C-alpha cells in the first residue's frame, strides 16, 4: 500500500511537471510564432512593395493602394506621432497623480490606503477599456467642447486623459509596491538625521524606490501604447498632424483597428497595416526589455 | 521653521546660571506600546562628554529607552511617553520639535544603513536638510565629518562612489560620519557593532573613545566586555526597569543589586 501511494505521488509529480513544461513551451512557441508571423506580414511593405523603412517611419504621405500592384504611399508618421503624443501626455498627467496616491496610501495614511484605496485601484484595473472609451465619449468630449470652445471635442487631449485614467491604477499599484518594499532602515536613518516627513519622502524614499517606480511607468506606458478601443473612440481618427492638443488626430492602434476590415488581403494597404502592427510589437518588446533591465539593476542593488 | 538654533537658544535661556555637566536628565519616564508598558519609572542622569552604556538582556527596553531620547518612538503608532526628559534644561517632549531634537541628538543603528547614494551625498544629507547648499561649505563638512569618523583616508578618493559598495565596518563608520555632519551634541548608538567583525568593532570602539571628547555618547550593547572596555558609566536594565546605574567599574566589580550581580557574573536566568 505504501509503495503504491509512493508510485502515485511520483506519477502526479511527473504529470504536474509535464503539464507545466508543455504549457511553458507552448507559450514560448506561441510568442515566437506571433513574432515570426508579424515579421513576415509586416515586412511585405518593404520587400514586396519596395517601400523604404525611412518612408514608413518618417513620411506623412499615407495613400496605400488597396491592390496587389501597390504603388501607393505608406508614410505612417501621423499615426506614430499620434501614438507618441497621446501616450506622453497621458504619462505627464498620470504619473504625478499616481505617485501622490502611492505615497499617500503607503506612508501618509496606510489604514485608509489598505481599506479603501487599494481595493478601489484594483477595481479600476478590471474595468474594460470600452467603458473608459464610452465615458470619455459622452462626458469628456462634450466637456472639452464647451470648456475650450472647439468644434469637436475629440482630440489629442481627450485621448490622453482617457489613457491617463486607464494607466493610473497600474502605475499607482506598482509604485506603491515599490515604495512599500523600501527597507525601513533607510526611513529610520532619514528621520534619525532630522528629516521632516516630506524630506524623508523625496530625498530618501522615492530615490530608493526609483527603479520600481520606473518599472511602473514603463508598464503604464506599454498599456497606453497598446490600447486601441478607448482611444479610437475619442481621438477623432483624423489623418492629420494635430496643430494643438485640442485637435483630433489618429494613432497606430486606432488606424489598424478601423482599417483592417476593409483592406484587401495581399494588397499594399493590408501590408502597410501589418507593418504598423509589427512596429507596435517591436515597441512593446522594447518596453519589456527595459523592464527586465530595470529589475536586473534592482536585484544588483539589493 | 525648523531652525537649527531653537534648542540652542532655549538652552541658553534656561540653563544660563549653570552650564551643568549633565546632558540628559530623565525623571519618572514611563513608556507604553499600546497597553504594554516597556519602560517603568526610569530616572537617569547622563553626563556630558562621557560614554554611557546601557546593558541588559534582550527585550528589556534598552533600544526603547535610547529611542525616547531622540523621540524616534514618536514614529511608532500607539506609543506613549510619560514623565520628563530634559536636555540642557530643555524639555525634549514639550519645548522642542522632534525634527530639531534629532538634529541635536544623532543616532547610529544596529544595521549599517547608508542611503543608496554616493558616499559624499550620504554625509552631506544632514547639512543639506538644514539648508546648506554651498559646495565649498559642504565639502568642508564632509571632510571634517569623515575625518572625525576616522575614515577619511580610506574614502577620500572615492567620495562619488556608491556607499553600498563599502564593507560593513566602513558603512557603519560612514553612518557615524553622517550623524556627526549634522553637528549633534549627543550620539546614540544602538548595538552599532553587533553586525560587525572584531576588527571593525575595535575601530568603532576607538572612535567612540575619541568622540566623547567632543560629544556625549550613549550606547546600547549586549556585549558586556564592550561596556567594560569603553564605557565610563553603565546602566543595567531589566524588564523595563533601570535596576542599577553607576561607574562602569563599580557595576562590574561591585554591583549592589541582586539582579545586577547575577547578570554581570553570567548566572542569569
Ligand atoms: N514597536 C513596538 N511595538 C510594540 N512593542 C515593542 C515595539 N518595540 C519594542 N517593543 C517591545 O518592547 C520591549 C523592549 O524592546 P526593546 O527596547 O527593543 O528591547 P532591547 O533593545 O533591550 O532588546 C520588548 O518586549 C519588545 O517586544
Ligand atoms: Mg535593541
Does B11 score more than 70 pLDDT? Answer: no
Asked whether residue A57 is domain-assigned, the answer is no
Confidence of residue B231 (pLDDT cuts 50, 70, 90): very high
Would you call A192 and B117 a contact, using CB atoms and an 8 Å cutoff? no
Task: Tally C-beta pairs within 8 A across A and B.
Answer: 63
Mean of all residue pLDDT scores within chain B:
90
Q: Which residue on chain B is closest to A207 by alpha carbon?
A: B116
Residue A52 lies in a domain: no
Q: Is residue B41 within 8 Å of residue B29, measured between CB atoms?
A: yes
Look at residue A297 and tell me whether its pLDDT is greater than 80: no
The reply to whether A268 falls in a domain is yes
Among A227-236, A257-266, B144-153, B171-180, whose mean pLDDT is lowest?
A257-266
Q: Say whether both A167 and A261 belong to one domain.
A: yes
Residues of chain B that touch chain A, judged by Cβ-Cβ distance less than 8 Å: 2, 70, 72, 75, 99-100, 102-103, 106-107, 109, 111, 113-117, 125-126, 128-130, 164, 175, 178-179, 182
**Domains detected in chain B:** 6-268 (3.40.50.300)
Hey, are the CB atoms on B70 and A199 less than 8 Å from each other?
A: no
What residue of B is the nearest CA neighbor of A197? B99
Does residue A277 sit in the same domain as residue A158? yes
Answer yes or no: do B129 and A199 touch at CB < 8 A: yes
Residues of B in contact with A209 (CB under 8 A): none
Is A64 a domain residue? Answer: no
pLDDT tens digits, B177-199: 999 999 999 999 999 999 889 99
Give yes or no for a contact between B158 and B119, defined as CB atoms under 8 angstroms apart: yes
Residue A53 lies in a domain: no
- CA B258–ligand 1 middle distance (angstroms): 24
Within this chain, do residues A150 and A293 fall inside the same structural domain, yes or no?
yes
Give this complex's ipTM. 0.90
Pair A55, A64: CB distance under 8 Å:
no
What is the total count of domains within chain A?
Answer: 2
The boundaries of the domain holding residue A3 are 1-42
Q: Which residue of A has its CA nearest to B67?
A: A192
Could you tell me if residue A55 is inside a domain?
no
Ligand closest to the CA atom of residue B75: 1
Residues A16 and A125 both lie in one domain: no
pLDDT of residue A294: 83
Task: Tell whether the model's pLDDT for residue A65 goes beyond 70.
Answer: yes
Residues A100, A242 share a domain: yes
Of residues A256, A261, A237, A263, the one with CA closest to residue A82: A237
- Asked if A192 and B111 come within 8 Å (Cβ–Cβ), the reply is no
Please report which helix (H) or strand (E) contains residue A119, including its range: helix A118-126
Minimal-distance CA residue of chain A relative to B172:
A189
Residues A89, A9: one domain? no
pLDDT more than 70, % of chain A: 97
Across the range A144-166, mean pLDDT stands at: 93
Pick the ligand that lies closest to the CA of residue B33.
1
Q: How far is ligand 1, taken at its centre, from the CA of residue B31, in Å? A: 11
Residues A13 and A143 in one domain: no
The pLDDT, as a whole number, for residue A2 is: 60
Contact B129 A191 (CB under 8 A): no
CB contact under 8 A, B129 and A208: no
In the numeric block, which cell numbers belong to residue B208?
A: 567612540
Separation of first and last alpha carbons in chain B? 50
Cα-to-centroid distance, B191 and ligand 2 (Å): 7
Residue of A191, A194, A204 lying closest to B115 (CB–CB) = A204
Same domain, A134 and A26: no
CA angle B145–B151–B156, rounded 5-degree value:
85
pLDDT at residue number B267 = 65
Nearest ligand to residue B235 Cα: 1
Question: Model confidence at A9, in pLDDT bands (50, 70, 90)?
Answer: confident
B104, closest residue in chain A (CA to CA)? A194
Q: Clarify whether residues A20 and A163 are in a common domain.
A: no
Residue ranges around ligand 1 (CB below 6 Å) = B 33, 36, 38, 56, 58-64, 76
Q: In this structure, are A109 and A207 located in the same domain?
A: yes
* Mean pLDDT within B198-211: 92
CA distance to partner chain B, nearest, from residue A182 (Å): 11
CATH (domain of A166): 1.10.3720.10
CB atoms within 10 A of CB B167: 13
Going from the Cα of B37 to the center of ligand 2, the distance in angstroms, rounded, reads 16
The set of residues, in sequence order, having a beta carbon less than 8 Å from that of B43 and lying 6+ positions away, is B26, B27, B28, B29, B242
In angstroms, what separates the C-alpha of A168 from chain B's closest C-alpha?
Answer: 28
Q: Which ligand number lies closest to the CA of residue B60?
A: 1
CB contact under 8 A, A301 and B103: no
Q: Which atom of ligand 1 is nearest to the CA of B73?
A: 1
A82 and A175 housed in the same domain: yes
In this structure, are A37 and A94 located in the same domain? no
Indicate whether A132 belongs to any domain.
Answer: yes
Tell me which residue in A185, A186, A191 faces B75 most closely, judged by beta carbons. Answer: A191
pLDDT for A158? 96
Asked if residue A56 is part of any domain, the answer here is: no
Question: Among candidates A157, A161, A166, which has minimal Cα distance to A242?
Answer: A157
Residue A3 has pLDDT above 80, yes or no: no
The whole-number average pLDDT for the span A9-26 is 87
CA of B30 to the centre of ligand 1 (A): 13
Contact B33, B44 (CB under 8 A): no
Task: Round to whole Å and give the CA distance between B181 and A282.
Answer: 50
Amino acid at each position: 500500500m505504501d509503495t503504491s501511494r509512493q508510485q502515485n505521488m511520483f506519477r502526479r509529480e511527473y504529470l504536474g511537471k509535464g503539464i507545466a513544461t508543455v504549457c511553458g513551451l507552448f507559450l514560448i512557441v506561441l510568442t515566437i510564432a506571433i513574432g515570426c508571423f508579424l515579421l513576415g506580414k509586416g515586412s511585405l511593405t518593404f520587400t514586396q512593395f519596395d517601400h523604404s523603412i525611412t518612408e514608413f517611419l518618417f513620411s506623412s504621405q499615407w495613400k496605400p493602394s488597396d491592390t496587389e500592384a501597390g504603388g501607393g504611399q505608406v508614410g505612417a508618421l501621423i499615426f506614430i506621432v499620434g501614438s507618441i503624443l497621446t501616450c506622453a501626455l497621458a504619462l505627464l498627467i498620470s504619473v504625478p497623480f499616481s505617485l501622490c496616491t502611492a505615497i499617500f496610501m503607503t506612508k501618509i495614511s496606510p489604514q485608509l490606503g489598505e481599506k479603501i484605496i487599494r481595493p478601489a485601484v484594483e477595481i479600476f484595473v478590471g474595468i474594460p477599456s470600452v467603458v473608459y472609451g464610452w465615458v470619455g465619449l459622452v462626458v469628456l468630449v462634450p466637456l472639452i467642447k464647451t470648456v475650450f470652445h472647439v468644434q469637436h471635442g475629440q482630440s489629442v487631449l481627450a485621448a490622453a486623459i482617457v489613457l491617463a485614467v486607464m494607466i493610473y491604477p497600474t502605475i499607482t499599484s506598482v509604485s506603491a509596491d515599490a515604495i512599500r518594499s523600501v527597507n525601513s532602515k533607510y526611513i529610520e536613518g532619514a528621520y534619525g538625521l532630522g528629516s521632516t516627513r516630506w524630506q524623508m519622502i523625496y530625498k530618501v524614499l522615492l530615490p530608493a524606490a526609483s527603479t520600481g517606480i520606473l518599472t511602473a511607468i514603463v508598464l503604464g506606458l506599454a498599456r497606453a501604447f497598446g490600447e486601441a478601443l478607448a482611444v479610437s473612440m475619442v481621438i477623432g481618427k483624423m489623418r492629420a498632424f494635430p496643430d494643438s492638443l485640442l485637435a483630433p488626430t489618429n494613432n497606430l492602434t486606432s488606424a489598424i483597428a478601423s482599417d483592417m476590415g476593409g483592406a484587401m488581403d495581399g494588397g499594399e494597404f493590408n501590408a502597410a497595416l501589418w507593418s504598423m502592427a509589427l512596429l507596435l510589437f517591436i515597441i512593446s518588446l522594447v518596453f519589456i526589455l527595459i523592464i527586465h533591465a530595470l529589475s536586473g539593476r534592482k536585484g544588483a542593488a539589493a | 521653521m525648523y531652525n537649527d538654533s531653537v534648542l540652542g537658544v532655549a538652552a541658553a535661556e534656561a540653563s544660563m546660571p549653570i552650564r551643568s555637566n549633565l546632558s540628559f536628565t530623565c525623571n519618572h519616564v514611563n513608556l507604553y506600546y499600546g497597553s504594554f508598558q516597556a519602560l517603568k519609572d526610569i530616572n537617569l542622569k547622563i553626563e556630558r562628554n562621557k560614554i554611557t552604556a546601557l546593558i541588559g538582556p534582550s527585550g528589556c527596553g534598552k533600544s526603547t529607552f535610547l529611542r525616547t531620547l531622540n523621540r524616534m518612538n514618536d514614529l511608532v503608532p500607539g506609543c506613549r511617553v510619560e514623565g520628563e526628559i530634559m536636555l540642557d534644561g530643555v524639555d525634549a517632549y514639550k519645548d522642542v520639535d522632534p525634527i530639531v531634537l534629532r538634529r541635536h541628538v544623532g543616532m547610529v543603528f544596529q544595521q549599517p544603513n547608508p542611503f543608496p547614494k554616493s558616499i559624499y551625498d550620504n554625509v552631506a544629507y544632514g547639512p543639506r536638510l538644514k539648508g546648506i547648499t554651498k559646495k565649498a561649505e559642504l565639502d568642508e563638512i564632509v571632510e571634517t565629518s569623515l575625518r572625525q569618523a576616522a575614515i577619511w583616508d580610506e574614502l577620500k578618493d572615492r567620495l562619488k562612489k556608491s556607499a553600498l559598495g563599502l564593507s560593513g565596518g566602513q558603512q557603519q563608520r560612514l553612518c557615524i560620519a553622517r550623524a556627526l555632519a549634522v553637528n549633534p551634541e549627543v550620539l546614540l548608538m544602538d548595538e552599532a557593532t553587533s553586525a560587525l567583525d572584531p576588527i571593525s568593532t575595535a575601530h568603532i570602539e576607538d572612535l567612540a573613545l575619541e568622540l566623547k571628547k567632543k560629544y556625549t555618547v550613549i550606547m546600547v550593547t549586549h556585549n558586556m566586555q564592550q561596556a567594560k572596555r569603553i564605557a565610563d558609566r553603565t546602566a543595567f536594565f531589566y524588564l523595563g526597569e533601570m535596576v542599577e546605574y553607576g561607574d562602569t567599574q563599580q557595576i562590574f566589580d561591585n554591583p549592589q543589586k541582586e539582579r545586577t550581580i547575577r547578570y554581570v557574573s553570567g548566572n542569569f536566568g
